[in-house]
Every structure is written in C-alpha cells, then in structure tokens.
Structure 1
Amino acid sequence: MTRAEFLAALEEMLELDAGSLSPDAALDSLDSWDSLAVISFIALVDEHFDHVVAGEDLAKAKTVSDLLALTGADLA
C-alpha cells in the first residue's frame, strides 16, 4: 500500500471527500475521528500491514502523519 492509497483508505473510513486529507491534518479537527474511527484505523493497519497498533501509541497521535508513522511501514 502506498502513502496515497493509505490516505485514500483513511478518507473513505472517515467519510471525507477524496483528496481532502493531508498528512498535516490535526486529528482533533476531524469531526469523524471518534472511537469508531480509532477501531477502524487499528483494523486497517492490522489488515494491510500485519501490524498491531498499541493503544498508548495511538492515544499520542495528533496528526495524520502520526497515524502514517504508526503503520510500521515506510510508505512512499
């Protein structure tokens, strides 16, 4: 999965318009970033990267870039 594909998957998961999510976007500014989105994000990372995101690491995430880093992959 590329960085663009991951952002597109996040946009779909968060029900945002395609191309509207930037790596610098603050999670607290996204109305759809809620507990369901957190669970969906954990499942997305597990499914596509075979990586388990620790809850304490996810709680520290402030931006979409932080989420990208939590994938455990080098997304180009």
Structure 2
Amino acid sequence: MDRKDFLLALDDVLELDPGTLTGAETLESLDSWDSLAVISFIALVDETMNVVVEGEKLAQAKTVDDLLALAGVAVTA
C-alpha cells in the first residue's frame, strides 16, 4: 500500500472525508483520534502492511506522518 492509499484508509478509520489527511496533521488536532481509532489503526496496519505496531512507539507518535512511519509507509510524497 502506498502513501496515498494508506492516508485514504486512515481517513476512513478516522471517519474523515476522503483526501482530508496530508500527513502533517498532529494527532492532538484530530477530534476522531481516540482509543477506538488507535485500535483501528493497529488493526489496519496489521491487516494491510503485516506490521505489528509497538504500543510504546505508538504512544510517542505525534503526527499522521509518525503513524505512516510506524506502518512502514514512505513518509515523503
């Protein structure tokens, strides 16, 4: 899955309009980034990227780009 597709999938997880996320957003600024979104993100990464996200690293994530990096998706456009 490339960056664009992963951002679209993350839009869906966060119940945002498709194309909303660019990667630069802070997680703190996203009203829909809550405990359910965290679990959904972990599941998305596991299912689509076959990557297990470590809880400690996820807790350190501050931006959507940080999430992309945890998923193994190239951060640059």
- TM-score normalized with structure 2 length: 0.92
**How many equivalent pairs are there?**
76
TM-superposed deviation, 1:73: 4.2
Instruction: Structure 1: give runs of 5+ residues left out of the alignment.
Output: none
Runs of at least 4 residues off by over 3 Å: 73-76
Say if 2:28 is the partner of 1:34: no
Q: What's 2:3 paired with?
A: 3
Counterparts of 2:16 and 2:50 in 1: how far apart (Å)?
25
Question: How big is each residue's C-alpha offset from its partner over 1:18-76, in whole Å with a ceiling of 9 and x where there is no partner?
Answer: 11111100000000000000000000000011110000000000000000000134477
Instruction: Structure 2: give runs of 5+ residues left out of the alignment.
Output: none
Q: What's 1:70 paired with?
A: 70
Q: Secondary structure at the match of 1:31?
A: coil
One-letter code of the match for 1:44? Answer: L
Q: Give aligned-pair identity as a percent.
A: 64
- TM-score normalized with structure 1 length: 0.93
